Structure 1
């Protein structure tokens, strides 16, 4: 297992509410990251088909024109769109952490999948509790979705957005000895100047804190919002005032909390790139390991129930695999999925 390699955090705008075009753009960004020598590339929260900004802009009745479109442009785990992304990961020999709206029959979930360089899905999870108005569109998951997995790049884990504000969520991840963490965020242009907590400064502070507390590297991708795309969601001046173009803020942090990547302009699409070395984690944790030598289990302990909780339990044989084996599918690379 290599201890030193390059990582990339995407800072880009999705093709809003268009699954085909956003998957095409995803595949192009995967190729770009691989060309720049990255072994891991991470995408923002609900990158496909874009974060549902319409949820925050008015009454539920005004959201109805978007709901069916959002469902129709959300990915399934066994569909052609995720298959195309898996094929791209294998073609370029790169690990891909993709954030998307996952459609499971009539329900949507804010999901993240980590795809290995062979195209296999090594981690799949759903956001435990969508935040505020997100709960009108997305379902919840359970403690089995707080997990860290062994990969050729070390122990990888992922959380979405304000899951990084939940101290117990974070501690459950730290206790699994996470080495590289994907912190996926949406665009930070929502309520800018109105709600500080939704902005880049506060949320990057939380991200940096995760790196320092967890003694791990954190790759934090974000979305960009263009002035043209504001018009997709805003139909009144009042709604336009709630959305600010730009607001990309992708970063990579080290296990001591240091910023490792060069900051991109908030309006610029690109990759925040950093070279990391997992051996530095030992130095950081020598000072403070909150789930190790720095813990006080005689005073405080966390109960993490990691058993899956399903609405229906069916006795019998084991269920089939969640993700189809790429080798069982067509060998033709799905470079583009449009049409």
Structure 2
């Protein structure tokens, strides 16, 4: 495995509430990044079919106009839309981290799907705890989603948005010797200047600190709000427009020392940010401070991780179902028929 590769972070508006158009646009961006020599391209949080800004803008009764379309345009694992993304990766010999709203049965999840260059999904994770009103739309992930995978360009992990403010989740990732991290953010225009700790300064700061703490490269794609999206969501309401200004794209790529590795794209412009990275540089950062290794204080603090996939339904006609119930309850005596 070479220690050198090129990574790409997408700063682009989604095709809001139009999954198939979003797939078309994603494939065009994948082809562009590949043509420019990228080995990995990363998209922002729920880029398919777009971040649901409407949940922050009005009462639940008003939001209902978007609920059905958002559900219908959320992507399903194993669908023809996923197959198109997989083919784009194969055809262009590039890895893909796609932020999406994943539909599973009757529920939605904030998800990140990592395709390798053959088109195989090597990591399919869900955000552990949706933030604030996101919990009115999305379900939760579990410990099995704190996962770092070995790829041809290094060990790659993914987290979304304010998971980068969860110290234990971050530590679980650091402990897996993560080398390249995809930090997927939504647009950072929402509530700009009028809400506590939602601005781009603190969110970019979280990505930068992750790079330093984890001694890894951080690819932090960010979406943006267009006039078309603002018109759809605000319908000319000046108060809503003030809460959802245009732009908000603050894409960044950081090195293990916290330095920015590429010139920023203006926050109201679309584009792809590129950076050449060398995993050899991680050794310099780890030599100074490896928080889950030689810089840990094991006799004082430790992290416990439950990696078991949590299921709402366990079939007792399946032997593994009984084993799972016993494991989660603590002992056979705790299992009642």
Please indicate the TM-score interval, normalised by the length of the shorter structure. over 0.9
Aligned to 1:222, what secondary structure does the other structure show?
A: coil
Report deviation, 1:317.
Answer: 8.0
Instruction: Check whether the contact 1:46–1:111 (CA below 8 A) recurs between aligned residues.
Output: yes
Instruction: Check whether the contact 1:44–1:99 (CA below 8 A) recurs between aligned residues.
Output: yes
Aligned to 1:14, what secondary structure does the other structure show?
A: coil
Alignment match, 1:230: 230
Distance in 2 (CA, whole Å) between partners of 1:289 and 1:232 is 47
> Which 5+ residue runs of structure 2 have no aligned equivalent?
322-337
Distance in 2 (CA, whole Å) between partners of 1:102 and 1:243 is 24
Q: TM-score, with normalisation over the residues of structure 1?
A: 0.92
Aligned to 1:197, what secondary structure does the other structure show?
A: coil
RMSD: 1.2
Report deviation, 1:316.
Answer: 3.2
Alignment match, 1:108: 108
Question: Given the alignment of the two structures, is residue 118 of structure 1 paired with residue 122 of structure 2, yes or no?
Answer: no
Instruction: Find runs of 4+ consecutive structure 1 residues off by over 4 angstroms.
Output: none
Q: Between Structure 1 and Structure 2, how many residues are aligned?
A: 319
Alignment match, 1:266: 267
The superposition leaves residues 126-174 of structure 1 with CA deviations (integer Å, 9 ceiling, x where unpaired) of 0001000000010001111001111111111000000000000000000
Alignment match, 1:286: 287
Alignment match, 2:183: 183
Report deviation, 1:228.
Answer: 2.7
Report deviation, 1:237.
Answer: 1.7
> Which 5+ residue runs of structure 1 have no aligned equivalent?
320-339
Q: TM-score, with normalisation over the residues of structure 2?
A: 0.93
Distance in 1 (CA, whole Å) between partners of 2:283 and 2:293 is 12
The superposition leaves residues 98-125 of structure 1 with CA deviations (integer Å, 9 ceiling, x where unpaired) of 0100001110000001000000011110
Alignment match, 1:160: 160
Alignment match, 1:11: 11
Aligned to 2:197, what secondary structure does the other structure show?
A: helix
Instruction: Check whether the contact 1:34–1:92 (CA below 8 A) recurs between aligned residues.
Output: yes
Distance in 2 (CA, whole Å) between partners of 1:181 and 1:6 is 13
Distance in 1 (CA, whole Å) between partners of 2:222 and 2:299 is 39
- Structure of greater Rg: 2
Aligned to 2:48, what secondary structure does the other structure show?
A: coil
